[in-house]
Each structure stands twice: as C-alpha cells, then as structure tokens.
C-alpha cells in the first residue's frame, strides 16, 4: 500500500491551508504605507506597524509546540479546522479594524490560528503518505511556502491598487471557507496514541518574556532607551526568560527543549537560522517604507520589487542539497550567509535616486543566499540529533526562525525610529506640537503632516526622506553585523564535508524521514 488513496487530493487541501497563512504574512509588507495613512488607513505609527507584524509572529512561535501536542491529542483534522476557523474570523476582524490596537489584537489571534494550522499539515502528510512518497509530498509542501512568499507581495499590491487596505485580510475569508469544507470532506482524522503533555507554564513564560522583550525594544526605539517603560520592560523580560529556561530544564515534556542547545552543532545551526532571519526580516521591514515613501512606488510596484527575493530562493534552493553533499554544510552555509550579508551591505549605499534595478538585484542576492543557508542549516540540525528527537529539533528551528524575524523587525525598526527622530528633529521646530510629534514619530507621519501643509510641506518631505535614508543606513549596518555573527557561527561550528562512507542525507530525505514523521511526536 502506498498510503491513503486520496493522499494527493489531501495534499492539495493542505497546500491551500498553508498558502493562506504564508500569503497573509507577505502581503502585509506592501500594505504598511496604506495602513499608516490617516486618511485611507488607520494612521498607524511605525511602532504600531511593528506590533501588527510581531503580535502575529510571537503568538505563532510561542504556541507552535503546544498546538502540535494538542493536535496529536485531540485530532489533526480537528486542529486544522479549528485553526482555519480562527484564522478566517480574525482575518475578517482585521479587515474591518477601526484602530491600530484592534488590528494588532486581531493579528495576534491570527497567530493562534496559524500555530494550529502549521504543525497539523505536516503531521497529516506523515499520516497519509507512505515513506517512499513522503519526500516528494513534503517537497510540494515546502514549494507552497516559496510560492506564497513569491506571489504574496503581488497579490497584496493588486488588492491595494483596486480596493481598500482591509482587502489584504478579507481575501483570506473565502479561501478559508473553501479550505474548511475540503478538509472536512477529504482529510481523515488521526491522533498520536501517546501524545505529549502540555507545558502551560512554559508557554505562558515564553510568550510573556518575548512580548516584554519586543515591547522594550520597540518602546526604546520610539521614546529612547532612557524611558523607564523601555528599560523596565527589558529588565523584566530578561528575568522572565531566565525563569523560562530554568522551568523548561526541569520539565519532562517542555514547551521548548532547551537541553538541545547543549549540543554545539544544534545550537550553532539554530543560531544561524535565527540570526539570518533577524537581519533579513528587519531589512524587509524598513525597505518597504523606503520603496513606498522615499521612492514613491505604489503597492503593486513595490510588491513586485520584493519578488526577486523569493525568486532567488525558488531557483537556487532545489540545487543546494547537491551543493551540501559535495562541499558540506559549513562551506555552503558560510557562502550563503556571505551572499545575504553582501545584499544587506548594499543597502548602506542606497540613496533616494539609486537605480531601482540595483535594489531589486540586492533582494535577489539575499534570496540566493537564503536558499543556501536554510537547507544546510536544517540538515545540520537533523544530523546533530538522534532520530527520536528530530521532530522536536525541527519545531525548535521553526520557533527560533519566527522569534528571530520578530526581534529583527523590532530591533532594526527601533534603530530606524531612533536615528530618524534625531535627524528630523531640527526641521520640525516651527510646527504645531501635534504635527511636530507626528512628523518626528515616523516618516509616514511626516508625509501626513506635509500633505496638510500644502506647498510648504515639500521641505518637510525632503528632510524626512533624508533622515529616513540616514536611519536606513544605520539599520543596514546593524543588520550586516548580525549577519556576520551568523557567518562566524557557521564557519566555526557547522560540520564540514562528511566522508564518502558516511554520506549526509539529502535535505529531502531529512525532511521526509525525520521532520515529517517525528513532528507528529513534537
């Protein structure tokens, strides 16, 4: 028997479920300017936009393990239906949010839905496909992620060119409805006969600690790190996260198995993933403002400029497995990280009139680099752990990736906010207090003030653009430093080429045999 008779139709349903999650996260980059517009959007500040991204990511990362355990205990099809329902309802609420706070809250609930969807899809694949076909099935699953990253900005741009900002969330609703119906009709129910226990204390400590850490970083960027709320939140975050580590070390079924990090190869591999997502996702955040405000590209055009990043990954990721087999994870990862670093470094020299093809080329270079970081880092994670721990290791890797991206948006966004505020302050002294506050808060606020000022606003726009480009350069330098830390970790601690008598498994084999199967137990 080759698995469930409807397995390929089931895979199609799972791809639809996964696409809606990935699409939503990528379209938000091109919607930020519109949401920040006080006339056509919500008038969101930069810190509120950071929270709109990070509220989703932090909840998703914090609940990934717990959602997997719940799916194993109560049923993976049920988890998928519940997750899609939560995602659809919160998408509807997001589309009609009247304030930035409502949007942030709704996005956090969307993260809860996504956490229920993601592990359930992989577990169902492991259940309905025979091992001989599982690698191909997970390849299709991974391809759906790449497809979502590639088409998300274009879909978001098309919607924003023709409809209001809420359409980027409303589009999820009919897709979710179709997905729920197809899951109910086609997908068989399955459970783990020996599910793990739920570490409620660990989940609460991790979500609270990461949220306080992110809040402290964002608050510090907006108001300065001398602000008591900023350093107070950071101090409490350190205490809570320390308590989280101590708690997890004593649990039989921890929400995050921190003991895995005593394995140097595992720690280095997950560290590389976290660092590169920190740098890349933070850079994508500030580059969205650069494209739509400084360069005045519309949502569709700016979305198209993000596509080379995805294309680089789609073209080169399938070839990276052969490169790992030939040269080893250390060499491939180090070269990939250097390519990402070079792409990030290019933004240090980008100005207001730089030919736009150069910006697209930098995104492509970063995408090619990412394509040669993730597969060897993932292979190293799998090779570092015994087979029975592979699923847990995979889930830890996904969690670190999400947390790294969230902290990158927060930290690099804080650099942009702080440097922008210091550089634009001298040109806002003659403005009324409310207008001055808005103009100094973010470049989006400065554009809103300039529109109200008529012809006199041209000078403010020029000053805001100059201040933002300076801030972007500083944030780019910070992203390069973080990426270089990843280069050092890969070059020092990732494994080299294995001897011919003990060849490394391919990425597809690792994912199929270990991530797909063992994630059921995670």
Same domain membership, residue 222 and residue 88 = no
pLDDT of residue 245: 92
CA 286, CA 280: separation in Å to the nearest integer? Answer: 10
Radius of gyration of the CA atoms of the chain, in A = 22
| Domain CATH for 513 | 1.20.1250.20
Confidence of residue 518 (pLDDT cuts 50, 70, 90): very low
Q: Are 313 and 47 in contact (CB under 8 A)?
A: no
520 confidence band (pLDDT: 50, 70, 90): very low
354 and 285 together in one domain: yes
pLDDT grade for 287, boundaries at 50, 70 and 90: very high
> Where does a domain end: 227, 252, 277?
252
Q: Is the pLDDT of residue 521 over 60?
A: no
**Given this model, what pLDDT does residue 507 score?**
40
Residues 185 and 284 in one domain: no
E strand or H helix that includes residue 228: helix 228-249
Q: Does residue 210 surpass a pLDDT of 90?
A: no
- Is pLDDT above 60 for 268? yes
For residues 106-118, give the mean pLDDT.
Answer: 90
Q: Considering the domain boundaries, does residue 441 fall inside one?
A: no
Mean pLDDT of 127-132: 78
**pLDDT in the model for residue 243:** 95
> What CA–CA distance (Å, rounded) separates 35 from 112?
22
pLDDT in tens, 315-369: 887 787 788 888 888 999 999 999 999 999 999 999 999 999 999 999 999 999 9
507 in the same domain as 388: yes
DSSP collapsed to 3 states, 408-427: HHHHHHHHHHHHHHHHHHHH
Q: Give the whole-angstrom CA distance, residue 179 versus residue 193.
A: 27
Opening angle at CA 105, ends 34 and 55, nearest 5: 80
Residues 6+ apart with CB under 8 A from 109: 59, 86, 89, 90, 93
Q: What is the pLDDT of residue 229?
A: 86
Q: Of 445, 473, 497, 219, give the one whose Cα is nearest residue 333.
A: 497
Residue 440 in any domain: the answer is no
Separation between Cα atoms, residue 179 and residue 201, nearest integer Å: 33
User: Are 342 and 399 within one domain?
Assistant: yes
Q: How confident is the model at residue 506 (pLDDT cuts 50, 70, 90)?
A: very low
At 190, is the secondary structure helix, strand, or coil? Answer: coil
**H or E element that contains 375:** helix 374-384
Q: What is the mean pLDDT of the chain?
A: 83
Distance CA 50, CA 229 (A): 17
Amino acid 394: pLDDT: 67
Residue 522: predicted pLDDT: 30
Q: What is the Cα–Cα distance from 385 to 392, expressed in whole angstroms?
A: 10
pLDDT of residue 500: 57
User: Which of 140-149, 317-326, 461-470 tops mean pLDDT?
Assistant: 461-470
| Residue 427 domain flag | no
pTM of the entire predicted model: 0.84
Residues 219 and 335 grouped into a single domain: no
Instruction: Give one DSSP letter per residue of 97-151, joined into a string.
Output: -SSHHHHHHHHHHHHHHHHHHHHHHHHHHHHHB-HHHHHHHHHHHHHHHHHHHHH
Among 208, 223, 252, the domain-final residue is 252
What is the mean predicted confidence (pLDDT) over 77-97?
Answer: 93
pLDDT band at 124 (very low <50, low <70, confident <90, very high): confident
Residue corresponding to tokens 């990426």: 483
Q: Do residues 178 and 213 share a domain?
A: no
Q: Say if 462 falls within a structural domain.
A: no
CA 123, 129, 134, 139 dihedral sign is negative
pLDDT given for residue 509 in this prediction: 43
Alpha carbons within 13 A on the beta-carbon side of 181: 6
Same domain as 88, residue 4: yes
| 3-state SS, residue 458 | helix
Structure tokens at 12: 């199609």
Instruction: Tell me how far apart the alpha carbons of residues 12 and 148 are, in angstroms, rounded to a whole number.
Output: 14
How confident is the model over 174-189, as a mean pLDDT?
90
Stretch among 83-87, 251-255, 480-484, 495-499 having the lowest mean pLDDT: 495-499
Least confident residue range of 126-140, 307-321, 356-370 = 126-140
Say yes or no: 352 and 386 in one domain: yes
306 vs 27: CA distance, rounded Å: 10
Residue 389 clears pLDDT 70, i.e. is over it = no
**430/156 Cα distance (integer angstroms):** 38
- Domain-embedded: residue 234: yes
pLDDT of residue 498: 64
CA dist 181 and 185 (Å) reads: 6
Distances (CA, A) of 179 to 12, 80, 182, 186: 10, 9, 5, 10
Q: Name, of 46-50, 181-185, 356-360, 436-440, the range with top average pLDDT.
A: 356-360
Does some domain include residue 230? yes
The Cα 137–Cα 9 span in angstroms is: 11
Domain shared by 385 and 500, yes or no: yes
* Confidence grade of residue 510 (pLDDT, cut at 50, 70, 90): very low
**What is the average per-residue pLDDT within 271-286?**
91
Number of domains in the chain: 3
Over pLDDT 90: what percentage of the chain? 30
Q: How many Cβ atoms from other residues are within 10 Å of residue 459's Cβ?
A: 12
- 430 within some domain: no
Measured distance between the N- and C-terminal CA atoms of the chain, rounded to whole angstroms: 26
- Tell me which residue of 93, 84, 94, 148 sits closest to 116, measured CA to CA: 84
CA separation for the pair 162, 413 (Å, rounded): 29
The reply to whether 224 falls in a domain is yes
Together in a domain, 154 and 64:
yes
Separation CA 431–CA 264 (nearest Å):
55
Tokens 């008529």 correspond to: 454
List own/partner pairs for 246-253 with CB under 8 A and 24 or more apart.
247/201, 247/202, 247/205, 248/199, 248/202, 251/199, 251/202, 252/197, 253/69, 253/196, 253/197, 253/198, 253/199
Domain end, chosen from 172, 195, 218, is at: 195
Same domain, yes or no, for 127 and 244?
no
**Residue linked to tokens 């810190």:** 47
Tens digits of residue pLDDT in 410-454: 889 889 988 998 888 777 777 788 788 888 888 888 888 887 766
pLDDT of residue 24: 74
- Of the candidates 409, 518, 522, which has an alpha carbon nearest to the alpha carbon of residue 63? 522
Q: Please, which pLDDT band fits residue 42 given cuts at 50, 70 and 90?
A: confident
Which domain does 494 fall in, by range? 264-415+480-522
C-alpha triplet 7, 12, 13: angle, nearest 5° = 95
Distance (Å, whole) CA 318 – CA 341: 21
Q: How far apart are CA 298 and CA 34, in angstroms?
A: 10
- Residue-wise burial string across 75-112, b where 16 or more C-beta atoms lie within 10 A, e elsewhere: bbbbbbbbbbbbbbbbbbbbbebeebeebbbbbbbbbb
């Amino acid at each position: 028997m080759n698995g469930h008779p409807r397995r390929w139709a089931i895979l199609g349903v799972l791809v639809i479920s996964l696409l809606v999650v990935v699409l939503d996260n990528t379209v938000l980059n091109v919607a930020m300017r519109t949401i920040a517009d006080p006339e056509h959007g919500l008038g969101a500040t930069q810190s509120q936009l950071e929270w709109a991204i990070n509220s989703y990511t932090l909840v998703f990362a914090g609940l990934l393990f717990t959602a997997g355990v719940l799916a194993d205990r109560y049923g993976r099809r049920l988890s998928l239906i519940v997750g899609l329902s939560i995602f659809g309802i919160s998408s509807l609420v997001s589309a009609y949010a009247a304030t930035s706070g409502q949007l942030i809250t709704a996005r956090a609930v969307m993260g809860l839905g996504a956490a229920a969807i993601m592990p359930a899809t992989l577990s169902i694949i492991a259940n309905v496909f025979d091992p001989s076909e599982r690698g191909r099935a997970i390849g299709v699953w991974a391809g759906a992620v790449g497809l979502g990253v590639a088409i998300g900005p274009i879909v978001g741009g098309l919607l924003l060119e023709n409809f209001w900002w809420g359409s980027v969330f409303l589009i999820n609703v009919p897709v979710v409805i179709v997905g729920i119906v197809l899951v109910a009709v086609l997908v068989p129910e399955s459970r783990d006969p020996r599910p793990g226990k739920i570490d409620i204390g660990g989940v609460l400590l991790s979500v609270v600690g990461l949220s306080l850490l992110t809040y402290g970083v964002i608050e510090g960027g907006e108001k300065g790190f001398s602000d008591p709320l900023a350093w107070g939140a950071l101090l409490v975050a350190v205490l809570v996260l320390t308590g989280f580590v101590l708690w997890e070390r004593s649990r039989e079924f921890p929400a995050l198995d921190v003991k895995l990090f005593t394995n140097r190869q595992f720690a280095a591999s997950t560290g590389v993933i976290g660092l590169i997502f920190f740098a890349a996702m933070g850079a994508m955040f500030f580059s969205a403002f650069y494209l739509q405000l400084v360069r005045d590209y519309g949502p569709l055009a700016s979305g198209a400029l993000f596509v080379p990043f995805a294309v680089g990954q789609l073209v080169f990721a399938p070839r990276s497995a052969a490169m790992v087999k030939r040269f080893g994870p250390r060499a491939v990862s180090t070269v990939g990280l250097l390519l990402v670093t070079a792409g990030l470094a290019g933004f240090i020299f980008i100005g207001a009139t730089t030919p736009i093809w150069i910006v697209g080329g930098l995104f492509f270079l970063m995408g090619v680099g990412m394509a040669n970081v993730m597969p060897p880092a993932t292979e190293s994670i799998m090779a570092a752990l015994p087979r029975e721990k592979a699923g847990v290791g995979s889930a830890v890797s996904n969690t670190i990736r999400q947390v790294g991206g969230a902290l990158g948006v927060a930290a690099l966004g804080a650099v942009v906010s702080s440097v922008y505020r210091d550089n634009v302050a001298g040109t806002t002294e003659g403005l009324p207090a409310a207008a001055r506050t808005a103009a100094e808060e973010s470049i989006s606020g400065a554009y809103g003030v300039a529109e109200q000022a008529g012809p006199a606003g041209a000078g403010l726009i020029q000053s805001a653009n100059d201040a933002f480009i300076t801030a972007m350069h500083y944030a780019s330098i910070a992203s390069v430093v973080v990426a270089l830390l990843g280069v050092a970790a890969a070059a020092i601690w990732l494994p080299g080429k294995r001897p011919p008598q003990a060849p490394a498994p391919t990425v597809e084999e690792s994912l199929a045999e270990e991530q797909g199967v063992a994630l059921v137990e995670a």
